[in-house]
Amino acid sequence: MRRTEYLKQLNKHLKHLDDTERQDIINEYDTHFYSGLEEGKTEEQIADELGNPRQLAKELNATAAIEKAEMSNKFGDVGHAVLAVMGLSLLNFFVILIPFIILLSIVISMIVTTLSLILSPIGIIIKGAVEGFQSVLLLDIFVTGTMFGFGLILFVMTYLITKGFYLLCVKYLKWNIHVMKGSATK
């Protein structure tokens, strides 16, 4: 594959990168061609050494998505990074997807439980409005207060676990990319 075709394919497959990052990457790989030609290699040899431009673009996209997720604290960015890393290979799809779904379901269930406990006083207000406030027993008030208190305690735990889940996802994705690159070079 010739230099221009290689760089054109690489540019085509670099997604979700701004124009500056994309141009920096293209310039870097253009430099690889220039250096290789000075060493007496042909453009085809250099392209073979660099590897498939589509796979290279996938790795660069995944690395960029992980870096973006690491810098921001948005779950959307982690989701994008997870999808980018899952796209690297079929095996990687399952290696990433299964732990992510398990951990995400635990976090979501904790969030739902926390919200239901914190919003439990609304239930007693609805009961009083529908059946009359004289039907609200002191036990109902005590149980609702206890549930609300557990909800507040669980809120702190859920916040910390959610933050830890986010950091764990980013570290796991970085580790996965590192392992993928290591296995590709061996």
In a domain, 62, yes or no: no
In a domain, 78, yes or no: yes
In a domain, 19, yes or no: yes
14 vs 184, higher pLDDT? 14
Q: What pLDDT score does 12 carry?
A: 85
- Mean per-residue pLDDT, 2-11: 84
In a domain, 146, yes or no: yes
Of the spans 60-64, 76-80, 153-157, which averages the highest pLDDT? 153-157
Span 119-130, pLDDT tens digits: 999 989 998 899
Q: What pLDDT score does 186 carry?
A: 45
- pLDDT tier, 24 (very low <50, low <70, confident <90, very high otherwise): confident
Residue 137: which domain range?
72-185
CA dihedral 96, 98, 104, 107 (to 10 degrees): -120
Span 84-138, pLDDT tens digits: 887 777 777 777 888 888 988 999 999 999 999 999 999 899 988 999 888 888 9
In a domain, 46, yes or no: yes
- Mean per-residue pLDDT, 34-62: 84
26-33 long-range contacts, Cβ below 8 Å, gap at least 24?
Answer: 30/3, 33/3, 33/6, 33/7
In a domain, 128, yes or no: yes
Q: What pLDDT score does 96 carry?
A: 82
In a domain, 56, yes or no: no
**pTM reported for the whole predicted model:** 0.64
